Copies of this chain bind each other. A is one copy, B any other.
Amino acid sequence: MATLKEVADSAGVSMLTAFQALSQHDAVDEVTRRCVQEAADNLNYTLKITQIDIADLAGVAKGTVSYALNNSELIKPTTRQKVLEAAQILGYHLNISARNLRMNRTGVVGYSWHVADDPSRMNNLLDRFIYRVTMAAEERSFHLLTFVQPQKNADRVYESLISTSRVDGFIISDVTYNDPRIARLTAMRAPFAAFGGMYLENADFAYVDVDGKKGIRLVMDHLLEQGHERIGLLGWPSGWPFGDAREASYREAMRDAGIHIENGWIAHTPNILDSAAMAAQQIMNSKYPPTALVCANDLMAFGAKSYLDSVNLRIPDDVALTGYDDDPTAQFLGITSVHQPIDELAEALFEILLGDINQEPLPNRQIIFNPELVIRRSTR
């Protein structure tokens, strides 16, 4: 296809006039517009400003335009200025696809929605996490592509996205033991960084994490300090590193305090309000009902609280209650919880990923943050 300059020459007008004519600018009279339009039609041209047009207008070579627009040190300031002005006048916008093809990178990282078909889709923590990751990415001129991963063969989707050059790397959450995605990406040498991993064995990939054991330990110490001895745990089914670490920490704390965990003090349920409420009931109906209930996260605590309220068990007088994640619900309901520094974590995670993408890996590719206990009226 022709360039704007060729159209202008063919119509016998200046580039600027041609540009204005084709972009329906008022400054051009109808006759000229028609004439330019005809020239464009003859050359089969449709208006689309490229670096070549800028070069033509500024009177430099196209290579110069590229350098100038990318603030290369090579270019003389006055030349750069000239180019920038021409770009401004023509309303130039870089074509990302062309750059991507040339540079073999995309400026996009992928993130998959938390496990598909989670019925409640209530994970405020991850929502906030990915929101902050997006912000971190955009501050560094990257974008986030969100996709859905199937339950089976999720790793194929990852493979396809990276090998078609759709993304430069991935942010991964909900890491499991022997996660096939991690195996696949590692094998392909594809850049990725995970949220979670410190309690996986041999986790030699990039990750950030918040020490979940430490978080539960804060909760336990707090409760033990208050004199609680019968402490129950409302956790998730085992098999997920996050939940297993929390349960392990609970057990350790009980052992260290010399307290035997009675039958029925521990219940496992999926991350659903109803299930949590039922499990709470089960725990409270055990032979030695706990005086404190530690929940795997705030959603579970919310479910438990509803049950306790419904049977007029007072919080914290009859039963103390704790959650985890410090989400808005816990704040509102006054439930003691554990805060995780999601914002800093997201930022750090993206920095690590970016290092890997640019083949300049950061020295420290595994960062662990400390959780923080937030005491509210559910435990005092």
A positions within 8 Å CB-CB of B: 93-98, 100-101, 104, 106, 108, 113, 119-122, 124, 127-128, 131, 134-135, 138, 143-148, 160, 163-166, 272-274, 277, 303, 306, 309, 328-329, 331-333
The answer on a CB contact under 8 Å between B328 and A122 is yes
Give complex CA distance A96, B110 in Å: 15
Which residues of the partner chain B approach A120 to less than 8 Å between Cβ atoms?
Answer: 328
A145 & B145 in contact (Cβ 8 Å cutoff): yes
Pairwise interchain contact A306-B332, C-beta atoms closer than 8 A: yes
Q: Is the CB of A148 within 8 A of B121?
A: no
Q: What 7 pairs between A and B have smallest CB-CB spacing?
A: A97-B100, A273-B332, A93-B163, A97-B101, A120-B328, A96-B164, A146-B146
Copies in the complex: 2
Contact B166 A143 (CB under 8 A): yes
| B residues in contact with A277, CB < 8 Å | 332
User: For the complex, what is the distance from the CA of A134 to the CA of B333, rounded to whole Å?
Assistant: 33
Which residues on B sit within 8 Å (CB–CB) of A272?
A: 328
In the assembled complex, the Cα of A331 lies from the Cα of B306 at a distance in Å of: 13
- Docked Cα-Cα span, A229 to B329, in Å, equals 32
Q: For the complex, give the distance between the alpha carbons of A166 and B163 in Å.
A: 19
Q: How far is the CB of A274 from chain B (nearest CB, A)?
A: 6
Pair B164/A94 contact, Cβ less than 8 Å: yes
Q: Quick one: closest B residue to A48, CB to CB?
A: B104
Q: How far is the CB of A249 from chain B (nearest CB, A)?
A: 28
Q: Are B124 and A148 in contact (CB under 8 A)?
A: no
The residues of B that contact A146 with a CB separation of less than 8 Å are 134, 144-146
Closest residue of chain B to A95 (Cβ to Cβ) is B165
